[in-house]
A and B are shown apart, each in its own frame.
Chain A
């Protein structure tokens, strides 16, 4: 199974400010009624959103791609 480094979102820290959406170079992040949604297919794990987040609500984690996505 393929492993991939992607940004993972912590809803308990997030202010839903949308900074990560604007800085994502591949348009992988959306701010919706449910909070931040990260498209793990698009995410390249570049970490720009992680650095930019004012409250460290994002971090890079390895996930296993097998149709669904699971943190490792």
Chain B
């Protein structure tokens, strides 16, 4: 069987490029194809990345520089509809994602991988029912790339897995519609990220301000994709209402971004003969905050280890690659399922509930919720129940037994 490369990765985002770095470190011959004209651009992201993931990238050959690390923040303010906020400390960066991905591509290249931009993969080559390579268009030229293993890291669109025959379709119920302005000249507290909640503010999601420097920030929103109004509508309305505080109307818009965020509908099966799916393409996104970069990198690490093992055994069958599914579900899958349940509860909250929780919750509670700590969430729900019995139904995934009791 023809084989030009050990692995062809489709998609040069954080997942695909981190896979390339890890797999090249293990001696695999890796090719990354990306349809975009420029690696890292356009950005479809709020660019928040926790300190651990930033350190991991530095440990894997990215220069320790603000050029891509961007702007350091020390915590997050979460605002209820009435303006009351809870501060959650925690270090992270608002990265310069275009620079970050370019540096990742360079780090991968230094380890022996190759990255090709503007290569639009439009077809998956199959031989004897197994994925055997891909066909891409490069400036009018059709090119074929054969490899015993293909990694689909093509983001939210998840076209490659679908072409290969894996069902990665996600119902709109599990999709958030994202929209964002990069604004300069606003007034802000640039030491923290700021998140604004409320049923009128952002149905099912939140509005964010992620500072990129003293007076520049990503100002964005994610909402339920099924909402009749657009994400842009909600963000524009909110910005108008909060113009006095931030000075949006006087600020410059230096970039406009959009994107789909897969906030649930996790794939139990992310492999088939000769194929591994990682990152947004596999819906590996935190269902509550919608972040996916760190999870994609984590999945990429596991996938690279499984890929190296497959090469040792010269076996790229689904049965061998299944180790990736198993390990992902052990490491993150269950936790994400719990945060998905929390998303369901979150979707049922009224503005009044949000205001109530802003008084009740501590920063530790919020971190526990974000981790999908079921016991802690249950304890919070039971505590809240005493004052607000109507929350019983809203938290039914966590306190099912208590709810059954209440309903007789």
Contacts and interface: CB of A to CB of B under 8 A. Distances in A.
A pairs with B: yes
Interface of A: 15-19, 21-23, 25, 27, 30-33, 48, 51-56
A52 B175 CA distance: 8
24 contacts: A17-B44, A17-B257, A18-B44, A18-B157, A18-B259, A21-B156, A22-B156, A23-B170, A27-B162, A32-B120, A33-B137, A51-B225, A52-B172, A52-B177, A52-B260, A53-B230, A54-B178, A54-B179, A54-B230, A54-B231, A54-B232, A54-B258, A56-B230, A56-B232
Contacts of B120: 32-33
B157 A21 contact: yes
Contacts of A56: 230, 232
Given A15-B257, A16-B42, A18-B260, A55 B179 contact: yes
Contacts of B225: 19, 23, 48, 51-52
A51 B228 contact: yes
Contacts of B257: 15, 17
Contact of A30 (B159, B172, B178, B230): B159
Which interface residue of B159, B226, B256 has the most chain A CB atoms within 10 A? B159
A53 B229 CA distance: 9
A69 to B, nearest CB: 21
B156 A19 contact: yes
Contacts of B175: 19, 22-23, 52
Nearest to A15: B258
Contacts of B359: none
Contact of B177 (A21, A30, A53): A53
Contacts of B137: 33
A36 B393 CA distance: 42
Chain B facing A: main interface SS: mixed
A55 B158 CA distance: 21
Interface residues of B, number: 31
A54 B177 contact: yes
Interface string B169-198: 110100101110000000000000000000
B230 A22 contact: no
A55 B156 contact: no
Which interface residue of B155, B159, B225 has the most chain A CB atoms within 10 A? B225
Interface string B258-272: 111010000000000
B250 to A, nearest CB: 23
Nearest to B256: A15
A39 to B, nearest CB: 13
Interface in B100-122: 120
A52 B171 CA distance: 11
B227 interface: yes
Nearest to B220: A54
Contact of A51 (B158, B159, B227, B232): B227
A23 B260 CA distance: 8
A64 to B, nearest CB: 28
B157 A25 contact: no
Q: Which 4 A-B pairs have the closest CB atoms?
A: A19-B260, A17-B258, A52-B225, A15-B258
Given A15-B42, A22-B170, A55-B230, 12 more contacts: A15-B257, A17-B44, A17-B258, A21-B156, A21-B157, A22-B262, A23-B175, A48-B225, A51-B172, A51-B225, A52-B260, A55-B179
B260 A17 contact: yes
A18 B42 CA distance: 11
Contacts of B232: 54-56
Contact of A31 (B157, B227, B230): B157
Interface string B233-269: 0000000000000000000000011111010000000
